[in-house]
Structure 1
Amino acid sequence: MITSIFSKSKSINFIIVFFITFLAFIIARVELINKPITLVVVLKQTMLILVCYASILLLSFIVSKNNLTLKNNYEILFFSLFLLLITQTTSNTEIILSNFFILLGLRRIMSLRSQKRVKNKLFDAAFWIAIASLFYFWAILFFALILISLILYTDNKLRHWIIPFLGVVTIFVLSISASIIIYDSFFEIFNLPPKVSYDFSNYNSIKFLVAITLLLSFGVWSSIFYLQNIKKKKKAFRASFKIIIVSAVIAFFIVIQAPEKNGSEFLFIFAPIVIIITNYVEVIQEKWFKEVFLSLLIIVPFITLLL
């Protein structure tokens, strides 16, 4: 039954996904009920939910444009369910914005496959990732995706290796200019030095343990089959699939490095992991097992709401 609903791309699927996302968004803001509701608060929360929706649409575009999955909507369904699994991922403004710009950068990186307007795409990718790092410093680790993509596409042109750094320098110069105007200081806008924390005690709750176990178990298991099946993909698309697995690894390191481990940092890992899991779901032959697999992914996020 579940497979029949989301096995094909339909408008109703987006309505369901947007509803689940809205539910996660509202649950994460229960504490706002006892606070005065002002126009500024309403506008800010409206902006954030729209960015969440835009991220889902952008993820769907990246997947369909690069044939990362078959023509279905599993990836956006899983994305919304993971937002519900860890509702804190919808509560941090900086991370929501940073993740959106990372997706914009990923979109440009993926488009390198066509080998057209390469210089523009490299600059744009670095530009978006640099902006993402202004909101959340450790997002800068995704810059490595650009360099890895150049290796995967065997690009030996020196100017192509220099252009991404120019994109970062551009944002750096603009940020310094803004910092001087706003704060009368060169580097105040960067919130330096970057903070790191390896204190995982915040994860020591039933809800977080269930959520992390689900993400790790399903993610690692799906990754095994994902890596095995890359060779079966069309040669032109193999680099794109490799970029996704690398982005998942980078996102994992961001979670490890996160200075405040409140759950919101897991948002970075959702986009690559849902693509990986979707690819696994698509190769499951036993219908009953696929239904059980999907049922767990759907039911567990709702169960965690009761924990």
Structure 2
Amino acid sequence: MLSTFFSTSKPIHYLMVFIMVVIAIISAQWWNVNITWWELSGVLILSASLAVFEFVVSKNDITPSSSYALWVTAVLSLLYLTFNVTLSPIIALFFIMLALRRLLSLKTDHSTIKKIFDATFWIAIATIFYHWSALFYLVVYVAIFLYARNDFRHWVTPLIAMGCVWFLLFTYDYVWENQVVNTLMDSYQITYLWSNDFIESQQVILLILVAIAVLGLLIYLSKLIDIQQSVRPRFTIITFTGLCAMTIAILDFDSFASGGFLLLIAALGILIARLAHSVNHRVFVELLLWFPILLLISSFLLR
């Protein structure tokens, strides 16, 4: 039973996730998924992202001591094997996780400017790989408002970090005569979710993820008063992280289906994990933990 196995946080759970990743790779080749071994190297980057995610969850007491969040996030992340996802969104996910780690560490009120600079810097790097990562600059300012709004320098620091990355990017373009900046700017295409005349059967899986995220947002708003004030800022930051990812689905669903959905997975993993801990019915918890596997298998079959 998954609920029993993942009810604690032990090294065996990390091994279980690793084995699951290997099985997913073998399955992808067995089903003749149109993906190269080079693209499958994204699993290494994805594994690093999951490691940072688990560190963030355990370090900030986001969920009770268990591996539910890691399990759910790992399984949902493997959806990238079934969609036409390049390495770029996977790399962007890794940098977004690094940024989230720095933003949540603002609660300690130590080296605040450095943490804000680092988080913005990582998001700027992520934007180079996946353009809609720029939406996550909003999360930086939300974190500043929640933890460090009394110092004017904190509000200016993100602009300096963004300026550093853009300066390096423009310099790279000038010296090597590339068109990275122009390509990045041209990537912003608005294709509203409701403007799609036809939704492929596999994309229904992504709509389910968005629906769950909307449900989680409503639950958060309804339970906001009940959340302890000391931990409320952490969940607000995570909520805005999910909101930014949902915005991608609304503004550019094609890009969301091509890898943007990975930026929503962390918030969903935390949501489902906390929901599993909030109910006492064991069968319901078991269903919650099997639900990501059902989505993954369905996505493979609908491809």
With normalisation by structure 2, the TM-score equals: 0.87
1:200-236 Cα distance to aligned partner (Å, 9 max, x none): 6497233321x13532443333444344444444432
The question of whether the paired residues in 2 share the 8 Å contact of 1:122 and 1:160 is answered with yes
**SS of residue in 2 equivalent to 1:207:** coil
Q: Which residue of structure 1 lines up, in the alignment, with residue 105 of structure 2?
A: 111
Choose which of 147, 150, 156 in structure 1 pairs with 2:144.
150
Q: Using a 3 Å threshold, how does the CA distance of structure 1 residues 89 and 140 change in structure 2: closer, same or farther?
A: farther
Q: Which residue of structure 2 lines up, in the alignment, with residue 16 of structure 1?
A: 16
The question of whether the paired residues in 2 share the 8 Å contact of 1:48 and 1:96 is answered with yes
Q: Distance in 1 between matches of 2:40 and 2:180?
A: 32
Q: Which residue of structure 2 lines up, in the alignment, with residue 176 of structure 1?
A: 170
Choose which of 153, 166, 178 in structure 2 pairs with 1:159.
153
Q: Distance in 1 between matches of 2:256 and 2:119?
A: 27
Name the % identity: 27
1:169-217 Cα distance to aligned partner (Å, 9 max, x none): 00000111111112166944645463332366497233321x1353244
The question of whether the paired residues in 2 share the 8 Å contact of 1:230 and 1:241 is answered with no
Q: Which residue of structure 2 lines up, in the alignment, with residue 6 of structure 1?
A: 6
The equivalences for 1:85-96 within 5 A come to 85=79, 87-88=81-82, 91-96=85-90
Q: Distance in 2 between matches of 1:111 and 1:303?
A: 37
Q: Distance in 1 between matches of 2:299 and 2:102?
A: 35
**SS of residue in 1 equivalent to 2:47:** helix
Q: How many equivalent residue pairs?
A: 298
Q: Which AA in structure 2 matches 1:20?
A: M
Q: Which residue of structure 2 lines up, in the alignment, with residue 278 of structure 1?
A: 273
The equivalences for 1:63-78 within 5 A come to 63-78=57-72
**SS of residue in 2 equivalent to 1:70:** coil
Q: Using a 3 Å threshold, how does the CA distance of structure 1 residues 193 and 288 change in structure 2: closer, same or farther?
A: closer
Q: Using a 3 Å threshold, how does the CA distance of structure 1 residues 284 and 185 change in structure 2: closer, same or farther?
A: closer
The question of whether the paired residues in 2 share the 8 Å contact of 1:28 and 1:90 is answered with no
**SS of residue in 2 equivalent to 1:305:** helix
Q: Distance in 2 between matches of 1:111 and 1:70?
A: 18
Q: Which residue of structure 1 lines up, in the alignment, with residue 262 of structure 2?
A: 267
Q: Which AA in structure 1 matches 2:249?
A: V
The equivalences for 1:23-42 within 5 A come to 23-25=23-25, 30-31=32-33
Q: Which AA in structure 2 matches 1:2?
A: L
**SS of residue in 1 equivalent to 2:191:** coil
Q: Distance in 2 between matches of 1:54 and 1:193?
A: 26
Q: Which residue of structure 1 lines up, in the alignment, with residue 301 of structure 2?
A: 306
Q: Distance in 2 between matches of 1:164 and 1:89?
A: 33
Q: Which runs of 5+ in 2 are unaligned?
A: none
| Greater than 6 Å deviation, 4+ residue runs | none
Q: CA deviation at 1:45?
A: 4.0
Q: Using a 3 Å threshold, how does the CA distance of structure 1 residues 52 and 230 change in structure 2: closer, same or farther?
A: same
Q: CA deviation at 1:238?
A: 1.2
Q: Which runs of 5+ in 1 are unaligned?
A: 34-40
**SS of residue in 1 equivalent to 2:301:** coil
Q: Distance in 1 between matches of 2:99 and 2:76?
A: 22
Q: Using a 3 Å threshold, how does the CA distance of structure 1 residues 227 and 284 change in structure 2: closer, same or farther?
A: farther
Note if 1:247 corresponds to 2:247: no
The question of whether the paired residues in 2 share the 8 Å contact of 1:130 and 1:168 is answered with yes
1:254-300 Cα distance to aligned partner (Å, 9 max, x none): 22333545442211110112112211111012222222333333334
Q: Which residue of structure 1 lines up, in the alignment, with residue 208 of structure 2?
A: 214
Q: Using a 3 Å threshold, how does the CA distance of structure 1 residues 190 and 110 change in structure 2: closer, same or farther?
A: same
Q: Distance in 1 between matches of 2:60 and 2:140?
A: 17
Q: Distance in 2 between matches of 1:202 and 1:66?
A: 43
Of 290-299 and 54-63, deviating more is: 290-299
Q: Which residue of structure 2 lines up, in the alignment, with residue 37 of structure 1?
A: none
